[in-house]
Amino acid sequence: MAKDWSGGGVVLHRDRNAPATDPYFDVRLWLQTETRHGWVWAYNLEHLGLIRRFVQASLREGIYRNDHGRRMSVVARLPAWMQQAKNRDEVLRAIARIHASL
């Protein structure tokens, strides 16, 4: 996490090859596991379930945008590799590993 001194507040920099950390407390998240493409992580079980439902869906509806053209969905911010159908099985296995670790 880095400070943006232009007055914009906090800027989050996420390295996909590093474990996920909470952006405010800078502690490592419990719900995460590494894959060959990067880390699969979630803040809580509800968040993990949302990711699982999105990844396993064979038909994904369009991602809603606000008036300024920005994406309005949590899943819209998932890394591209997690959204690709060819990686579906790997992501779902990673989610299953996270559930098994609880």
Per the structure block, which two tokens stand in for 22?
């909470």
Q: Which residue has the higher pLDDT, 9 or 67?
A: 67
Domain segments of the chain: what residues?
2-58+71-100
What length does the chain have?
102
Provide Rg for the chain, Cα atoms.
Answer: 15
For 58-74, the pLDDT digits (tens) are: 877 666 555 666 665 77
Averaged pLDDT for residues 4-25: 60
DSSP 36-77: SS-EEEESSHHHHHHHHHHHH-SS-PPPPB-TTS-B--TGGG
